[in-house]
Amino acid sequence: MKNITFRADERDIEAAEERARSERTTLSEESCRWLAEHGQRERRCEEVESAMDRVSGKLRVGRKLTSDEMNDR
């Protein structure tokens, strides 16, 4: 694992550390988790877009589904 250094307002750091303590974690662990999520955000967006493409045209808004449609897998 690599170490990084960044600058932030002291009040923001103190508030973040306090929140991390209340959640029984550390600012370092929260930063690592944020970096991992941030790095995967584009891939997750692509997955959502792909899922939306797969259902596109299969659902109509504004009407009740038939029993067969609700049970269709």
User: Could you tell me which residue, 13 or 56, shows the higher pLDDT?
Assistant: 13
Per-residue model confidence as pLDDT tens digits over 5-52? 889 999 999 999 999 999 999 999 999 999 888 888 888 888 888 888
pLDDT at residue 70 in the model? 81
Q: Is the dihedral of CA 53, 57, 60, 64 positive or negative?
A: negative
> Which band of pLDDT confidence, cut at 50, 70 and 90, is reported for residue 72?
confident
> Which band of pLDDT confidence, cut at 50, 70 and 90, is reported for residue 60?
low
Instruction: Write down the domain spans for the chain.
Output: 10-55
3-state secondary structure 46-70: HHHHHHHHHHCCCCCCCCCCCHHHH
